[in-house]
A = this chain, B = another copy of it.
């Protein structure tokens, strides 16, 4: 495994790998402080690619002024151990100066998909994501790029960007990885106190209950599902709901209120963002209601 810190070293190393025939190239962009979710992306990348590149970069552009850019957890030594163990060939760890030698005047923006959910709560967040991912794609020129479905909106936005701009890369979305008790893995989970950690289980519990209630026919409309999600989450005294939404996926458009979910044509997403103290957690479930119904 080679660790590179400059764009030039990265390009040289990739050129060497390509000339040696070690293609396709798979790419796993991360902000570091890696967990089993990232490990699952690396394993998928290793399965599909002959060169696996991971980047570790906490991108200031995608953090709001009052967000946790400075406090975001970092542990390079541990990250490198995990990357090596999970089969990364190249780890790219640029400084902020290497990524932004001058303030960027160029932005890549995706409209409409970015106005709701995390886009509404975190203005400018997705512009920062699409801009830095465009830069990283231009540096790595991967055949495949791997993203976790915990950030389902990010997957939807990046797929649209790739399609609209004819980028020569395939976005591979990988399932959410959870703790044994259901909590979705996140680098931000370390912020949680013991009590918050315990109450944070309402996210995954509410999603599971909603799925079951859809299956058994207890709830039928998006409004009813939302009501159920909210009532389960509010059973936690520490939970402060940022959003709880049911939308089409990947279009992220509202479903007709009132119609039965089973009549929705494609995939839908139940998406949650909930604060516990200063920590904001997200979780979601993407599924096809018709197929869930068929399982009953």
Chain B residues whose CB sits within 8 angstroms of the CB of A138 once the complex forms:
165-168
B165 touches A108 (CB 8 A): yes
At the interface with chain B, which of A19-27, A72-80, A110-118, A223-231? A110-118
Contact (Cβ within 8 A) A105 B160: yes
- In the complex, chain A residues 1-33 whose Cβ is within 8 Å of any chain B Cβ: 7, 11
Q: Are B111 and A165 in contact (CB under 8 A)?
A: no
Chain B nearest Cβ from A17, distance in angstroms: 16
Q: How far is the CA of A134 from the CA of B135 in the complex (A)?
A: 12
Classify chain A: how many residues form its interface, as a range: 20 to 34
> How does the 8 Å CB contact mask read for A195-217 relative to B, with 1 for contact and 0 for none?
00000000000000000000000
Interface residues of A in 152-204 (CB under 8 A from B): 160-161, 164-168
Cα(A106)–Cα(B129), bound, Å: 13
Contact B164 A141 (CB under 8 A): no
Q: A11's closest neighbor in chain B, by CB?
A: B168
Complex Cα distance, B251 from A105, in Å, reads 11
Rounded to whole Å, the gap between the CB of A12 and the closest CB of chain B is 13
Distance in Å: Cβ of A140 to nearest Cβ of chain B: 10
Given contacts A7-B166, A106-B130, A107-B108, 5 further A-B contacts (CB under 8 A): A107-B111, A108-B165, A135-B164, A138-B165, A138-B167
